[in-house]
């Protein structure tokens, strides 16, 4: 952005941003105590992780800055980074180290490829934003999804860091709010060049809000490879399940887990000997889920490294990755029943669904996909698979049990659905190549800057 344009943009948003920054600075003195208190209140492993790495929210880095060019990708949650793993790979191949930040320090760090590292993002207050940018000195900042913290964006622009938005979201409700302050919206969004939207409707809303280069180039989620399997764990599960019909289910909470357990009762009534591989997203749920399954009359066991013998009705596998579970039991419920979405909105973010997980890995593994109606940020992917006949949306426990029984009892139909899922994801792939093409002008600027050292010059 030119200096004249930057000055004009700053004039358009100076009053509200100055107020926001002043409030953040005033509250920042309480931030260390609040972070410590929240970590202790959470308890369990999430609280321990939060207490251990809470310093990163105060811009106290826990890793050194890599030497050479650094691209920073800012996302709200680990799930938002999942779609951008192919972009991270391509940035690494182009000669960049990648710093990936997320905001929930109670959440485990995402799995990243080589040349990438993870930190939790600083709180959106001026002192923390300035300290973060002074330490990491990113050569380019890429904001993903709905992540747009005003103070951090403002400070990055003030320092002349090129800004881009990828997989960008802007809800209709937020767009309506911004329409009441068009000068402010134009000034804020004019700094993102390019602005690559999550979907065509988002692109239109972002253009109207003031993003000068808002467009849709496809969904990078379809380029994500399936998670690899743990060969040893997969072998143990395969030996225990044998030739029995088996399905897997990924659940985010006890309420959803109880729905899945009830569905397994229906599956066992229709197909005696069927096995449910139940994968809680939080390990702390394993014991309560096993107890609830037992209370419903099902034999249940938590998976361990030394387990032998035939599998019970329910195998609770808290440590199983999706790559292992989907290969062991390729009829999969991916979530979406009994989950809720965050109701709030804001300029710096969009409501994020807490329901189903991404269906792309399961689709590429040719699994039979079943899900509930609450799919959050993955709505586009699920809609596409549903329309292609490659996935099924269920509204309640009865429908879930019926879908699982049909898939386990009709191998030919299950194979056809799996092939359709893989074909649909392949047809929609390729967005990460388009994203890198759109980013190439600002990435090229980094290579032309004399103040950025090549890695070999260390």
Domain identity same for 25 and 141: yes
Domain identity same for 296 and 279: yes
The answer to whether position 223 is within a domain reads no
Q: What is the mean pLDDT of residues 106-124?
A: 85
For the ranges 97-111, 145-159, 331-345, the lowest mean pLDDT is seen at 331-345
Domain identity same for 279 and 340: yes
Distance CA 233, CA 41 (A): 34
pLDDT tens figures, 38-54: 655 555 544 455 556 77
The answer to whether position 226 is within a domain reads no
Domain identity same for 250 and 152: no
For the chain, the domain total comes to 2
DSSP H or E segment with residue 301 = strand 300-302
Domain identity same for 327 and 449: no
Domain identity same for 192 and 72: yes
Give the pLDDT of residue 321: 87
Percent of the chain with pLDDT strictly greater than 90: 64
Domain identity same for 356 and 285: yes
Domain identity same for 160 and 237: no
pLDDT tens figures, 60-93: 999 999 999 999 999 988 878 888 999 999 999 9
Beta strands across the sheet bearing 300-302: 300-302, 314-316, 275-280, 246-251, 331-333, 368-371, 391-393
Distance CA 82, CA 365 (A): 17
Distance CA 273, CA 241 (A): 10
Give the pLDDT of residue 349: 44
The answer to whether position 224 is within a domain reads no
- Whichever domain contains 423, its CATH number is 3.40.50.2000
The answer to whether position 225 is within a domain reads no
Give the pLDDT of residue 282: 84
pLDDT tens figures, 339-349: 443 333 334 44
Handedness of CA 367, 368, 372, 378 (dihedral sign): positive
Domain identity same for 154 and 260: no
Which segment, 2-16, 246-260, 438-452, is predicted with the most confidence on average? 246-260
Phi-psi region of 243 (alpha: psi -120 to 50; beta: other; left: phi over 0): alpha
pLDDT tens figures, 437-454: 999 999 998 888 776 665
Q: Find all residues with CB under 8 Å of 409, minimum gap 6, and list them.
A: 245, 270, 271
The answer to whether position 10 is within a domain reads yes
Give the pLDDT of residue 319: 80
**How far is residue 159 CA from its own chain's centroid?**
28
Residue 161, pLDDT above cutoff 60:
yes
Q: Residue 367 in 3-state DSSP?
A: coil
Q: Residue 369 in 3-state DSSP?
A: strand
The answer to whether position 413 is within a domain reads yes
Give the pLDDT of residue 345: 36
Both structure tokens of 443: 């990435």
Distance CA 382, CA 207 (A): 26
Q: What does residue 225 show for φ and ψ, rounded to 5 degrees? A: -80, 150
Beta strands across the sheet bearing 97-102: 116-120, 97-102, 70-74, 140-144, 163-168, 192-197, 214-215
Q: What ranges in 191-321 are assigned the alpha helix state H?
A: 200-209, 231-241, 254-270, 286-295
Q: What is the domain range of residue 187?
A: 3-218+431-457
Domain identity same for 241 and 314: yes
Domain identity same for 325 and 448: no
Q: What does residue 71 show for φ and ψ, rounded to 5 degrees? A: -100, 130
Domain identity same for 342 and 447: no
pLDDT tens figures, 357-376: 999 999 999 999 999 999 98
Q: What is the mean pLDDT of residues 157-169?
A: 94
pLDDT tens figures, 211-246: 988 999 999 999 999 999 999 999 999 999 999 999
Give the pLDDT of residue 79: 78
Instruction: Give the Cβ contact number of residue 225 at 10 Å.
Output: 12
CB 428 within 8 A of CB 384: yes
Both structure tokens of 399: 């429908």
């Amino acid at each position: 952005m030119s200096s004249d344009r930057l000055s004009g943009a700053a004039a358009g948003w100076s009053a509200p941003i100055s107020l926001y920054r002043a409030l953040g600075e005033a509250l920042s003195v309480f931030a260390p105590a609040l972070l410590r208190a929240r970590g202790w209140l959470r308890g369990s492993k999430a609280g321990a992780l939060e207490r251990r790495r809470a310093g990163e929210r105060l811009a106290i880095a826990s890793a050194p800055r890599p030497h050479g060019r650094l691209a920073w990708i800012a996302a709200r949650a680990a799930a938002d980074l999942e779609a951008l793993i192919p972009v991270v790979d391509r940035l690494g191949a182009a000669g960049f180290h990648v710093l990936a930040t997320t905001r929930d320090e109670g959440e485990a760090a995402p799995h990243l490829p080589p040349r990438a590292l993870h930190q939790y993002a600083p709180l959106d207050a001026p002192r923390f934003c300035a300290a973060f940018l002074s330490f990491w000195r990113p050569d380019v900042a890429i904001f993903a999804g709905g992540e747009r913290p005003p103070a951090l964006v403002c400070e990055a622009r003030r320092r002349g860091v090129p800004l881009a938005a990828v997989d960008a979201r802007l809800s209709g409700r937020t767009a309506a709010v911004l329409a009441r302050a068009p000068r402010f919206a134009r000034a804020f969004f004019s700094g993102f060049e390019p602005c690559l939207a999550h979907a065509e409707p988002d692109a239109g809303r972002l253009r109207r809000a003031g993003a000068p280069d808002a467009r849709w180039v496809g969904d990078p989620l379809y380029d994500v490879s399936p998670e690899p399997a743990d060969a040893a764990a997969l072998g143990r599960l395969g030996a225990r399940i044998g030739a029995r019909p088996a399905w897997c289910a990924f659940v985010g909470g006890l309420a959803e887990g109880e729905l899945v357990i009830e569905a397994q009762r229906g599956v066992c009534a229709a197909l005696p000997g069927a096995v449910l591989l139940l994968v809680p997203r939080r390990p702390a749920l394993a014991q309560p889920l096993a107890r609830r399954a037992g209370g419903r009359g099902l034999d249940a066991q938590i998976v361990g490294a030394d387990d032998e013998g035939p599998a019970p009705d329910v195998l609770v596998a808290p440590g199983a990755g999706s790559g292992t579970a989907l290969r062991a039991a390729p009829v999969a419920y991916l979530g979406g029943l009994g989950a809720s979405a965050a109701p709030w909105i804001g300029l710096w973010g969009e409501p994020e669904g807490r329901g189903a997980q991404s269906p792309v890995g399961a689709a590429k593994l040719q699994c039979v996909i079943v899900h509930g109606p609450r799919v959050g940020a993955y709505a586009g992917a699920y809609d596409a698979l549903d329309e292609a006949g490659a996935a099924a949306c269920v509204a309640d426990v009865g429908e879930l049990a019926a879908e699982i029984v049909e898939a386990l009892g009709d191998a030919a139909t299950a194979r056809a659905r799996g092939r359709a899922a893989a074909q649909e994801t392949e047809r929609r792939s390729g967005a990460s190549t388009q994203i890198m093409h759109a980013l190439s002008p600002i990435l090229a600027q980094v290579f032309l800057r004399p103040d950025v050292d090549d890695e070999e010059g260390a």
